[in-house]
């Protein structure tokens, strides 16, 4: 009887101990499980935001770039760069940037890219890099319809309006003299053409695309254009900071694609009413 009770007590005690160990073990497993679950469901870090390339443009140069009635920057250059960016897989943001400070903005890193009917020149290549050409241009003379001016050389003794710092400014300065008071410099070509309308200058020299667009859309001004064989053919390019090969390669890739698939030709025809010259679609 005593032995039997002792055995029972032993067995009962053992059972209780085993049950306790099992419950303790289960308790440890259950406590560990939430920690493992929390680790496995930890939120992944958010993806890095895609870089937005800031494009500087002087929005006072229709039809290449200007502002519409809503203040939006529009124009041929804007449509071309937007199409190029889409092909290149990059995001761009256009910022109105006055011409006189546009190259400094690029050099200081405030702009990643410039598009503003910028002629590719050897001098500019020293401080910035250019994409493949995207537009063929040359200088053109605007005068009043009754003017006797027939060639560039006729401007030597006249007052001529130009936009400051443009290739028009350069060619007129060479003809008349950089410091001559007969060279009237303006912040934009439209302002120079307004001065021609009011009689403040005898002629304006500027890029052909801008002059032709202005004359066609301001018939009341009664202007005519005069071309001259002495004007050197020019080409526009998209400008990036010197040595920014990564962005330049993306731009050139996108530019080549929009030329190849006909996108560029459609944009060109929309603004200039004809197919582009072969030089800019190669």
Give the chain's mean pLDDT.
87
Residue in 151, 269, 138, 265 with CA at minimum distance from that of residue 209: 138
91-98 average pLDDT score? 98
Q: Residue 2 above 50 pLDDT?
A: no
- 20 versus 181: which is more confidently predicted? 181
> Does residue 140 contact residue 206 with C-beta atoms inside 8 Å?
yes
206-224 pLDDT, tens digit each: 999 999 999 999 999 999 9
Please tell me the predicted confidence (pLDDT) of residue 42: 56
Please tell me the predicted confidence (pLDDT) of residue 20: 47
Please tell me the predicted confidence (pLDDT) of residue 273: 84
Q: Residue 1 above 50 pLDDT?
A: no
Place of tokens 């529009």: 74
Give every CB contact of residue 193 below 8 A, 6+ residues apart in sequence. Answer: 142, 161, 204, 206, 211, 214, 218, 221, 223
- In this prediction, residue 280 has a pLDDT band, given cuts at 50, 70 and 90, of low
pTM of the model: 0.77
Please tell me the predicted confidence (pLDDT) of residue 12: 47
Compute the distance between CA of residue 166 and CA of residue 155 in angstroms, rounded to an integer.
Answer: 18
């Amino acid at each position: 009887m005593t032995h039997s009770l002792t055995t029972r007590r032993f067995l009962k005690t053992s059972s209780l101990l085993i049950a306790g160990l099992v419950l303790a073990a289960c308790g440890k497993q259950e406590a560990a499980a939430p920690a493992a679950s929390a680790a496995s469901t930890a939120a992944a870090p958010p993806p890095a935001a895609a870089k937005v390339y800031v494009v500087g443009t002087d929005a006072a140069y229709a039809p290449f770039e200007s502002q519409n009635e809503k203040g939006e920057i529009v124009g041929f250059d804007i449509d071309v760069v937007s199409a190029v960016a889409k092909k290149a897989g990059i995001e761009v943001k256009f910022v109105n940037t006055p011409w006189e400070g546009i190259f400094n903005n690029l050099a200081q890193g405030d702009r990643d890219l410039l598009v503003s009917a910028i002629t590719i020149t050897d001098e500019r290549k020293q401080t910035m890099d250019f994409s493949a050409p995207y537009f063929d241009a040359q200088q053109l003379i605007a005068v009043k319809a009754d003017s006797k001016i027939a060639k560039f050389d006729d401007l030597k003794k006249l007052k001529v309006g130009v936009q400051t710092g443009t290739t028009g400014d350069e060619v007129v300065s060479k003809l008349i003299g950089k410091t001559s008071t007969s060279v009237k410099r303006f912040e934009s070509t439209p302002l120079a053409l307004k001065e021609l309308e009011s009689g403040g200058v005898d002629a304006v020299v500027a890029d052909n695309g801008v002059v032709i667009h202005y004359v066609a859309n301001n018939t009341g001004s009664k202007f005519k254009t005069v071309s001259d064989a002495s004007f050197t053919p020019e080409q526009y390019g998209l400008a990036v900071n010197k040595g920014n090969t990564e962005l330049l390669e993306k731009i050139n890739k996108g530019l080549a694609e929009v030329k190849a698939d006909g996108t560029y030709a459609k944009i060109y025809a929309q603004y200039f009413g004809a197919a582009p010259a072969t030089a800019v679609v190669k």
